[in-house]
Amino acid sequence: MTAPPESPAAPPGHYGRGALVAVLTTQPLATTLDYLAPEGGCHLGAFVEVPLGPRQVLGVVWGPGKGGFDLAKVRPVTRVLDVPPMRAEMQAFLARAADYTLTPLPAMLRLATRAPGLAGGAMMRKVYRRAGPEPARMTEGRARVLDALDAFGGAAVTLSELAEAAGVSPSVIKGLVKAGTIAGEDSPRDTPYPRLDPDRPGVALTEDQERAAEALRQAARAGGFSATLLKGVTGSGKTEVYLEAVAETLRAGRQALVLLPEIALTAEFIARVEARFGARPAEWHSGVTMTERRRLWRMVAEGGAELVVGARSALFLPFRDLGLIVVDEEHDSSYKQEDGVIYNARDMAVLRASLAGAAVVLASATPSLETWVNAQTGKYARLDLTTRYGAAVMPAISAIDMRSEDMPAAHWISPSLAQAVGRRLEAGEQSLLFLNRRGYAPVTLCRACGAQIGCDHCDARMVEHRFLKRLMCHQCGATKPVPSACPSCGAEGRLAPVGPGVERLAEEAAALWHGARIAILSSDRFASARALKAQIEAIAQGAADIIIGTQLVAKGHNFPLLTLVGVIDADLGLQGSDLRAAERTFQLMRQVAGRAGRAERPGEALLQTFQPEHPVIRAILSGEEERFWQAEAEERRAAGAPPFGRLAGIILSSTDLAQVSDFGRELAMMDAPLRAIGARLFGPAPAPIARIRGRHRVRLLIKAEKTAPLQAAIARWLGQFRPPSGVRVTVDIDPQSFY
């Protein structure tokens, strides 16, 4: 039973006062809840505050109320928030994303409302300015406040900002207000971002670049959904090309979103946007302040932000008219969100673009196999840039056969690689030694009893971090001091590091090359994204001779002086049984090698390997990329593996091992809904990392045909059970990791 609308002339999508509306809240409830539209009514999609028990919670008017119960008991919406209503496109996106990832809709709504102060409504804030003569009593603190105000030169400044700039407590400022010297006034909090000028001249594009740029401009002009793989070798100018698509989108008056896989890359990208369009874009990632997040969220909704550069969560921003999404380095595994709501931002970008009528550009030198196949089958358009820009040429890649190198124990830099580095040092060029292992040594072993030091909470070995002087678990982050005696047998002084991490490699390099400036680039070495950015910039300017880095350095940085890349262990990624081991190794090696020789001087990449004849190593060396993808695709097709078949991972965890094992078996026994769609269930089996943070983990794997209705079947299957309390069930559709 639905209440009649207040007035028959109400516009579509508007509910008059007293009409029954369904509100989706961010609370973990199974369904929407019915409320009465408030005084003045509300629009479909309106952000509202509603009573839930004793509390007020945030919600969105999702549609007409479901009714079917006593209307007298339905409570009215408390108030409609002063932000633009959620658009139908966004509602559809959240609903489809929820269905795809098997995530409850309220959790999706939480992703879409991750800005502070939406309900706060305080659109104004107090800012301070000079208002009268100097106070009768002038103190040093007061003088500093007035100096600081002058220094701000009329820019809006809040109490806390002013206090911080002047180095005084807020009471000093309040004293000046009382004295009439300065005044606080309310001013709008959220202001639009500076306009970008798409018609400023960009760089002169090469013929190849121009061809690709024109195709992307056309896609942007066409105004509907399209998906394009922009595949260009490292240093070919993909960024310059897709900025042309951004320009065309802005000309059409629509908004653009550029996703980057790594916050550390944003500084360089923003500088390029500023050079191209004369102003900075809006930034959205974990390093952005709350005030700025709030401003961005609102401005995106109101159209006061034309271009957003951000992390994967920027996909859930309330764009008013999204015309373009660029996913840069689209193959990057960090686009997969692995906890909380598990989703792949690359796939969600395509979904959102299709609903918004936007163009999506997936850019990479080494695309994911999924995207490569989509381009092969014509589902996506494909544009290729096959040469580096300008004088730069692709680096020569060759292998160092470690079987014939003379390697003393506990050394990892072969004589051949050392020679090559030595030549760079003499020439004043930079070398990068790449090792994808953080810390000093991956294993700490007791030479008396053979025990390895493990984490107390996880089924994982502790990694020594000599820089921090601790052992650290890379699963849960727990740390402990390096003991002097073996925790197993008590032997004193017999613990030894085994294997290399970047810190140990730096030690070896320092012993080899006295006086060389060595910099370690590894995420755990930097307290903040800002510090990391600064270090990357310094290195680009030449502040280091030898860079020792983890995969952090593989991601699109430009180091113009870098001419040699040495990969310490090219076999590392090939060891696992991971479905994507070959693909990942191929991508990573090609990307890392691509850091070399990006300016005038040619680059070289040397891969230390014990198996130079391995097909993946050979493919990396030969550079015959298309053949590699072809072969990899064939193998996956034969195995019915993604992207030709579908997978879903089910992870059960509990502090009680028996409980989680029993529940796993129960799930496996009642798999009829899965069999009904021809899917196969494997497991339960203890997860490769069988315990994390004290929780025992059991995995099941579902394999289905590409077209099978997998999510619906999983929902029916899981719907048969009530997990015992304490058991957590995580569904990972299209899993990327299997730990």
Ligand X SMILES: Nc1ncnc2c1ncn2[C@@H]1O[C@H](COP(=O)(O)OP(=O)(O)OP(=O)(O)O)[C@@H](O)[C@H]1O
> Which residues sit at the interface with ligand X, rule CB under 6 A?
203-206, 209, 232, 234-240, 365, 389, 556, 558, 594
Residue 441: CB minimum distance to Zn ion, A: 17
Tell me whether residue 449 is annotated as binding: yes
CA distance 493 to 508: 22
Instruction: Compare residues 348 and 458 and give the one whose CB is closer to Zn ion.
Output: 458
Residue 563: CB minimum distance to ligand X, A: 15
Q: Report the residue from 423, 457, 470, 614 that binds Zn ion according to the rule CB under 5 A.
A: 457
Cβ atoms of 652 and 701 closer than 8 Å? no
Instruction: Compare residues 268 and 578 and give the one whose CB is closer to ligand X.
Output: 268
Retrieve residue 364's tokens: 């990479």
CA 485 to chain CA centroid, Å, is: 41
Rg (CA), the chain: 29
Cβ atoms of 499 and 508 closer than 8 Å? no
Beta bridge pairs of residue 300: none
Instruction: Compare residues 10 and 476 and give the one whose CB is closer to Zn ion.
Output: 476
Instruction: Compare residues 98 and 327 and give the one whose CB is closer to ligand X.
Output: 327
- Count Cβ atoms below 10 Å from residue 457 Cβ, excluding itself: 16
Torsion over CA: 463, 467, 469, 472 (sign):
negative
Residue 385: CB minimum distance to ligand X, A: 7
Residue 578: CB minimum distance to ligand X, A: 24
Cα angle 285, 559, 419 (rounded to 5 degrees) comes to 135
- Confirm or reject binding of residue 42 to Zn ion (CB under 5 A): no
- Confirm or reject binding of residue 480 to Zn ion (CB under 5 A): no
How would DSSP label each residue in 307-318? EEEE-GGGGGS-
Instruction: Compare residues 364 and 444 and give the one whose CB is closer to Zn ion.
Output: 444
Tell me whether residue 644 is exposed, middle or buried, using C-beta atoms within 10 angstroms of its C-beta: 0 to 12, 13 to 18, 19 or more: middle
455 binds, among Zn ion, ligand X, none (CB under 5 to 8 A by kind): Zn ion
238 binds, among ligand X, Zn ion, none (CB under 5 to 8 A by kind): ligand X
Instruction: Compare residues 361 and 473 and give the one whose CB is closer to Zn ion.
Output: 473
Extended strands (E) in 517-659: 518-521, 546-549, 562-567, 604-609, 645-654
Q: Which residues contact 255 (CB under 8 A, 6 or more apart)?
A: 249, 300, 303, 305, 306, 307, 308, 319, 320, 321, 322, 323, 324
473 binds, among ligand X, Zn ion, none (CB under 5 to 8 A by kind): Zn ion
**Among 143-151, 153-161, 472-480, 489-497, which window interacts with Zn ion (CB under 5 A)?**
472-480
49 binds, among Zn ion, ligand X, none (CB under 5 to 8 A by kind): none
CA distance 319 to 406: 59
- Confirm or reject binding of residue 102 to Zn ion (CB under 5 A): no
625 binds, among ligand X, Zn ion, none (CB under 5 to 8 A by kind): none
Bridge pairing between strands 381-385 and 226-232: parallel
Residue 459: CB minimum distance to Zn ion, A: 9
476 binds, among ligand X, Zn ion, none (CB under 5 to 8 A by kind): Zn ion
**Among 390-398, 470-478, 526-534, 614-622, which window interacts with Zn ion (CB under 5 A)?**
470-478
594 binds, among ligand X, Zn ion, none (CB under 5 to 8 A by kind): ligand X
Residue 26: CB minimum distance to Zn ion, A: 31
- Confirm or reject binding of residue 348 to Zn ion (CB under 5 A): no
Residue 698: CB minimum distance to Zn ion, A: 18
- Confirm or reject binding of residue 455 to Zn ion (CB under 5 A): yes
- Confirm or reject binding of residue 478 to Zn ion (CB under 5 A): yes
Backbone angles phi, psi at 670, to 5 degrees: -105, 55
**Among 56-64, 272-280, 457-465, 676-684, which window interacts with Zn ion (CB under 5 A)?**
457-465
Residue 432: CB minimum distance to ligand X, A: 14
Backbone angles phi, psi at 570, to 5 degrees: -70, -15
Instruction: Compare residues 464 and 734 and give the one whose CB is closer to Zn ion.
Output: 464
255 binds, among ligand X, Zn ion, none (CB under 5 to 8 A by kind): none
Residue 236: CB minimum distance to ligand X, A: 4
Tell me whether residue 171 is exposed, middle or buried, using C-beta atoms within 10 angstroms of its C-beta: 0 to 12, 13 to 18, 19 or more: exposed
Q: Report the residue from 266, 366, 475, 585 that binds Zn ion according to the rule CB under 5 A.
A: 475
Instruction: Compare residues 566 and 594 and give the one whose CB is closer to ligand X.
Output: 594
- Confirm or reject binding of residue 476 to Zn ion (CB under 5 A): yes
Instruction: Compare residues 46 and 326 and give the one whose CB is closer to ligand X.
Output: 326
CA distances (Å), 280 to each of 3, 216, 309, in order? 49, 22, 10
Instruction: Compare residues 89 and 464 and give the one whose CB is closer to Zn ion.
Output: 464
Residue 206: CB minimum distance to ligand X, A: 5
Where helices occur in 305-368 by DSSP H, the ranges are 345-356
Question: In which region does residue 25 sit, left (phi positive, over 0), alpha (psi from -120 to 50) or beta (all else)?
Answer: beta
Q: Which residues contact 345 (CB under 8 A, 6 or more apart)?
A: 259, 312, 315, 327, 335, 336, 337
**Among 369-377, 429-437, 455-463, 522-530, which window interacts with Zn ion (CB under 5 A)?**
455-463
Q: Which residues contact 585 (CB under 8 A, 6 or more apart)?
A: 570, 572, 573, 574, 616, 620
The DSSP call for residue 441 is B
Tell me whether residue 42 is annotated as binding: no
Instruction: Compare residues 24 and 265 and give the one whose CB is closer to ligand X.
Output: 265
Retrieve residue 623's tokens: 């550079």
Residue 329: CB minimum distance to ligand X, A: 7
558 binds, among ligand X, Zn ion, none (CB under 5 to 8 A by kind): ligand X
Residue 502: CB minimum distance to Zn ion, A: 20
Q: Report the residue from 369, 473, 506, 714 that binds Zn ion according to the rule CB under 5 A.
A: 473
Task: State the DSSP H helix or E strand holding residue 657, giving kind and residue range, or none if neither.
Answer: helix 657-669
SS3 category, 122: coil
Q: Report the residue from 308, 458, 506, 582 that binds Zn ion according to the rule CB under 5 A.
A: 458
239 binds, among Zn ion, ligand X, none (CB under 5 to 8 A by kind): ligand X
Where helices occur in 139-289 by DSSP H, the ranges are 140-152, 159-166, 170-178, 207-222, 238-251, 266-277
The DSSP call for residue 52 is E
237 binds, among ligand X, Zn ion, none (CB under 5 to 8 A by kind): ligand X
Ranked by CB distance to ligand X, the top (closest) residue is 237
Residue 697: CB minimum distance to Zn ion, A: 12
206 binds, among Zn ion, ligand X, none (CB under 5 to 8 A by kind): ligand X
Instruction: Compare residues 34 and 429 and give the one whose CB is closer to ligand X.
Output: 429
* Residue of 253, 229, 226, 225 lying closest to 242 (CA atoms): 229
Retrieve residue 440's tokens: 């000093």
Residue 363: CB minimum distance to ligand X, A: 7
Tell me whether residue 466 is exposed, middle or buried, using C-beta atoms within 10 angstroms of its C-beta: 0 to 12, 13 to 18, 19 or more: middle
633 binds, among ligand X, Zn ion, none (CB under 5 to 8 A by kind): none
Residue keyed to tokens 């408390």: 78
The side-by-side arrangement of strands in the sheet containing 47-52 is 33-36, 20-25, 55-64, 47-52, 79-80
540 binds, among Zn ion, ligand X, none (CB under 5 to 8 A by kind): none
Instruction: Compare residues 605 and 731 and give the one whose CB is closer to ligand X.
Output: 605
- Count Cβ atoms below 10 Å from residue 670 Cβ, excluding itself: 11
Instruction: Compare residues 479 and 659 and give the one whose CB is closer to Zn ion.
Output: 479
First to last CA, the chain: 50
Binding residues: 446, 449, 455, 458, 473, 476, 486, 489
Binding residues for Zn(2+): 446, 449, 455, 458, 473, 476, 486, 489
Which residues of the chain form contacts with Zn ion (CB under 5 A)?
A: 455, 457-458, 473, 475-476, 478
